[in-house]
């Protein structure tokens, strides 16, 4: 059985593949590489409390679905 083309997969497709093939290290590393290449995360320091989230409105908006990259 041949391996899928991880480079051609979307981030979501690769994510789903990794979840269903948890022992496939090649797929996992391809997924991590894709995450780093697309760099669509928001970096923030560790929170001291839930109220600290108010200091990062872009983080909250992203999860509400109003975020525009």
Long-range CB contacts (within 8 A, 24+) of 24-31? 30/6, 31/6
**Cα diameter, the chain:** 51
Instruction: State the CB neighbour count (10 A cutoff) for residue 34.
Output: 16
Per-residue pLDDT of the chain (69 residues; tens, 9 = 90+): 688 999 999 999 999 999 999 999 999 999 999 988 887 776 777 888 888 888 888 777 877 876 555
Q: What is the pLDDT of residue 67?
A: 52
Sign of the dihedral defined by the CA atoms of residues 57, 61, 66, 68, in that order = positive
Provide the residue ranges of all domains of the chain, joining segments of one domain with +. Answer: 1-38, 43-69
Q: What is the pLDDT of residue 68?
A: 55
Nearest 5°: the CA angle 7, 59, 20 is: 35
């Amino acid at each position: 059985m041949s391996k899928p083309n991880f480079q051609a997969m979307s981030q979501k497709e690769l994510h789903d593949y990794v979840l269903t093939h948890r022992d496939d290290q090649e797929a996992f590393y391809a997924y991590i590489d894709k995450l780093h290449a697309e760099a669509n995360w928001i970096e923030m320091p560790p929170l001291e409390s839930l109220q600290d989230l108010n200091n990062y409105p872009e983080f909250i908006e992203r999860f509400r679905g109003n975020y525009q990259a």
